[in-house]
Structure 1
Amino acid sequence: MTVGASEPGRRELAAYALGSIGTGIYSTVPGLLLLYFMTDALGVPAGVAGLVVVLPKAWDAVFNPMVGAASDSEALRTGRRTRILMAGTLALPVAFAAMFASPLTGVGAAAWVSITFVLASSAFSLFQVPYVALPAEMSERPEVRTRIMVWRIVCLTIGILVAGSVAPAVVSLVGGGRGGYGVMGVAIGAVLVVTLLIPTLAARRVPSRAGAEPLSLAGALRCARGNHAFFALLGAFVVQAAAVAIMLAAVPYTATYWLGGYQLTSLLFVCLVAPSAVAVPLWGKAAARWGRLRCLTVAACGFALGAVSLWPAVGPGPAHMAATLTLSALLGVCYAALQVLPLSLLPDTVHADAARTGRLQSGAFTGLWTAGETLGLAAGPGVFSLALACAGFVASTTHQPVAQTPAARTGVLLGFSIVPAVLMLLSLPALRAYGRHRAASPGAAPAPAAPPDSDLEPESPR
């Protein structure tokens, strides 16, 4: 495909979007199960487990922009981003399997998981950063990029759904404990190989357009410094990602300590995520009619309302279970918009910056974006684990379970309902700031015939 000459067809869209099944799987399983794996199977104290989850991700905040610079350098030199994509594709499945194969417990297990998590996160960055840069190079037209994002987020939702439903089920099916998590790690690693390899090979047909020179971390920050719309959108996305991550981290704890058992983790997760698979195309159509920013704001408010409603709904018994699952499904509908709409707006900020500076630095911006996303996803489980520690949650192993205090159980429920709602509301000022800055940015002056989906950016000519 050549940007501006021919737009991606169904085959190209499917090949690209398939990678999001893999990224959805990797993004979900550690966020959903790693904290619980450490506190309830490896005997790692909640506070220590929280540090294990957060600290490796802090490395990503530095590493992702470095990958973005390397990706732009490769694009400048070869016209493709394939080699970095391939490095991540080959390394991630191995590191992922090792992350859930700790032969140790306690402090030793914390060290094992920390090292393997750093390796897995680094491998994921090698794939994710150039992968996210591709849509800006597949089309200059905002409505086409939204279509690309719809395909991608549908596949991302499938990956999240598969990960959240299958991974806990595999653990339970093979007997639980460290052995069950080890088998799950190998099985998920095998799926990652397939879902990442196909888009990596397909990326050879996407010509890349880097700027005049690749940027380092400092250069990427200098490049983005004047792009206020980008930072406003990134700020909103990071806070929303943290809110969702806290809720997902609380899912196995909520199932275990409020709904009747760990085996309900898959059911609760499916109800939370499955509706988004249907809702993603609907949000795409709604955005085309009413605008992406407006729909994103509505979805954030709806998610906050649904999360608050979970506080009185969660509890033992059929009535509470039905209410919890129904509200989770409604949250899933809003979650779909929180996934697809920020990513469809991101390329707009990249192209607006190109209009301002004369350089298209896709890798630099997506490096910063994925760094922020990583911090948000890590901050969720980290904050949740610290809250558990403050509430008196006691770590245990599979063979030595511990009865938790009412305070600890309340801490679990806060992480599943009130805290995500508050964070989602805190993202709204940043979304409002994004709208103001995009209206004032170069290349964003509204065109008379611009479709509503353009969100302040005129349609680029073919």
Structure 2
Amino acid sequence: MSALGTRTRLGYSLGSFVTGAFGTVPGLLLLPYLTDTMAVPAAAAGAIVLLPKAWDVLFNPVAGRISDSALARHGSRRRFLLLGGLVLAVCFAGLFAHPGLGSVGADAAYVVVVFFLCATAFAFFQVPFNALPAELTEGYHERTRLTSWRISVLALAILVSGAVAPAIANALGGVAGYRMMGLFVGALIAVGTVCVYVGIRGAPVGRLRQPTPTWRALLRTMREWRSFRWLLAVYFVQALGAATLLAGVGYVARYVLGDPGLQSLLFAGFVGPALLVMPVWDRLGRTGGKLAGFRVASAVFAVALAGLAFAQALPLAVVFVLVALAGVGYAGIQVFPLAILPDLITAEEERTGATRAGVTAGVWTAAETLGLALGPGLFGLVLSAGGYVSSSDSSATQPDSAVTAITLGFSALPAVLIALAIPLLRRSVLDTGRPADAAPAAR
């Protein structure tokens, strides 16, 4: 049961087209959609991006508990993947539909409501999706391989959605551009959903255990589960840093580098390296350990971002080299925590005798979603502090203070957040060892 076939690895990994698209495009385009198309003030737009996803902090663990119960009853989490993904696809297209209700406030309220629906539907997809690696295989190194496949497809999904979506929005311009972009990403999410649903048909589901009977018992487990709490803290802080960077890409292209058309190239330069370096991170994880690889990736990411703080003065070619280096580090910080997580889940399930994958994935997804939502909100506050001028046609001239705020919010701020997570990677808590097969996780 340790080794997986190519069909299962690929089938599972194709779900990354759903997580990649929804995890990327709102963080990349929703804030400028609000500020530069609807004329929503920057601080208010940041709050709009944050509030619906903050709901997931409460709801995702509930979705995880529901998913665990469904697994015990039906022996599969596939129906939740299908339902959540297809509903998300429809809601995402509606998110950027711009209904034109007659006032900025009414249109902004529409975005809030639809974004709430998107976040809820996404929970029912992503929570079981994150729970599956602990059930598909018990192999210590096979989990790293599965995660590497997943992140490779995720990089492709992010590249396609993150590069093509802004290109569509910019090519058509204004409301029409965002509407067509929303339809494109919605279709991409629907295709990814169907592919993962079909691809994991007949795949192993591990040892079926009953879910923990009470929420009080689950809360007690989370309080005692020190290794999970440390890993979760690291992942949250780094998700916040990455989301802050992504929120600034469009602003950097337009106001720092002086060419809005560079947005897609910057994004491709950031995500593209993951398609090339994933085998390197996989090998490092196998030879040096997952925790060591995680530390190296974090350091590479932070150093590259620190260099981008000088983007205003650097040649464009150097900016792209630093962006690519940041992409190399970003690929690593995606692989290693997701490879460590199923090891921790397996050890906890063996200790308690109860299913933990779903509810653990729910808590994990809640933290990730909150980090991704806080990033654009934090960047919006940086814009506001720098005196950014919102407008309805993207033609406003920005003061020097706003350009400086854009640069630092894109580089120095996420660099600090990524670096802050490195001391949290404590070997005594997170190192699960490197046995031939199933390693017992430290508690």
Query: TM-score under structure 2 normalisation?
Result: 0.95
Residue of structure 2 equivalent to 1:351: 346
Query: What amino acid is aligned across from residue 31 of structure 2 in structure 1?
Result: L
Alpha-carbon distance in structure 2 between the residues aligned to 1:289 and 1:44: 50
> How far off its partner does 1:202 sit?
3.3
Matched, 1:36 2:19: no
Which residue of 280, 286, 289 maps to 1:282? 280
CA contact (8 A) 1:49 1:385 kept: yes
Give 1:436 deviation, angstroms: 1.3
Shift of residue 106, structure 1, vs aligned partner = 2.2
Are 1:45 and 2:46 counterparts? no
Counterpart among 381, 393, 406 of residue 386 in structure 1: 381
Q: Which of residues 176, 185, 189 is equivalent to 1:188?
A: 185
Percent identity, aligned pairs only? 42
1:408 equivalent in alignment to 2:402: yes
Match for 2:227 among 209, 226, 229? 229
Q: Quote the residue 1:424 is aligned against.
A: 418
- In 2, the alpha carbon distance for the partners of 1:387 and 1:115 equals 25
Question: 1:75-224 to 2 correspondence within 5 Å?
Answer: 75-104=71-100, 106-173=104-171, 175-208=172-205, 209-213=207-211, 219-224=217-222
Query: 1:221 and 1:160 mapped to 2: Cα distance?
Result: 34
- From 231, 234, 251, the equivalent of 2:249 is 251
Instruction: State the secondary structure of the residue aligned to 1:179.
Output: helix
When residues 426 and 270 of structure 1 are mapped into structure 2, their CA distance, relative to the original with a 3 A threshold, is same
d(CA) in 2 for partners of 1:22, 1:285: 27
How far 1:358 moved relative to its partner? Answer: 2.3
- CA–CA distance in 2 between the matches of 1:207 and 1:221? 28
Q: How many Å apart are 1:217 and its aligned residue? A: 5.9
1:202–1:356 CA distance, 2 compared to 1 (3 A): same
Deviation at 1:401, TM superposition (A): 2.4
* Alpha-carbon spacing, 1:217–1:159, altered in 2? closer, same or farther (3 Å): farther
Secondary structure (helix, strand or coil) at the match of 1:364 reads: helix
SS in 2 for 1:205: coil
1:317-371 deviation digits (Å, cap 9, x = unpaired): xx62111111000111111101111100000110121232222311011111001
SS of residue matched to 1:393: coil
Distance in 2 between the 1:144 and 1:182 partners? 41
Note the alpha carbon deviations across 1:276-299, whole angstroms, 9 max, x for none.
111112100111111111111111
Could you tell me whether the CA contact under 8 Å between 1:69 and 1:215 is conserved in 2?
no
Give me the TM-score of the superposition, normalised by structure 1.
0.91
**Structure 1 CA distance, aligned partners of 2:215 and 2:395?**
45
| Kept in 2: contact 1:73–1:210 (CA 8 A) | no
Letter paired with 2:175: R
**Aligned CA-pair RMSD:** 1.9
What SS does the aligned partner of 1:401 have? coil
Does the CA contact (< 8 Å) of 1:227 and 1:349 recur in 2?
A: no
Mapped to 2, the partners of 1:202 and 1:333 lie a distance apart of: 28
Q: C-alpha distance in 1, partners of 2:250/2:216?
A: 39
Looking at structure 2, the residues matched to 216 and 403 of structure 1 have their Cα atoms a distance apart, in angstroms, of 57
Q: 1:207: how far off?
A: 4.5
Task: Report the AA paired with residue 407 of structure 1.
Answer: S
User: How far, CA to CA, are the matches of 1:101 and 1:263 in structure 2?
Assistant: 23
The CA distance in 2 between the partners of 1:66 and 1:297, in whole Å, is: 32
Q: Distance in 1 between matches of 2:311 and 2:234?
A: 28
Q: Is the 8 A contact 1:314 1:324 kept in 2?
A: no
Name the CA distance, whole Å, in 2 between partners of 1:227 and 1:137: 19
- Say if 2:266 and 2:320, in contact at 8 Å, map to a contact too: yes
C-alpha spacing 1:165/1:290, structure 2 compared with 1 (3 Å): same
Question: What is the alpha-carbon distance in structure 1 between the residues aligned to residue 419 and residue 214 of structure 2?
Answer: 34
- Tell me if structure 1 keeps the 8 A contact 2:212–2:354: no
CA contact (8 A) 1:92 1:124 kept: yes
Instruction: Output the CA distance in 1 between the equivalents of 2:215 and 2:281.
Output: 34
Number of aligned pairs?
439
1:360 corresponds to 2:358: no
Query: Contact 2:209–2:355 at 8 Å: present in 1 too?
Result: yes
Q: How does 1:261-300 map to 2 (within 5 A)?
A: 261-300=259-298
Q: Are 1:23 and 2:19 counterparts?
A: yes
Q: Which amino acid aligns with 1:10?
A: T
Gapped regions of structure 1 (runs ≥ 5): none
Match of 1:330 among 307, 325, 328: 325
Aligned to 1:308: 306
Contact 1:72 1:363 in 2 (8 A): yes
Conserved? CA contact 2:256–2:311, under 8 Å: no
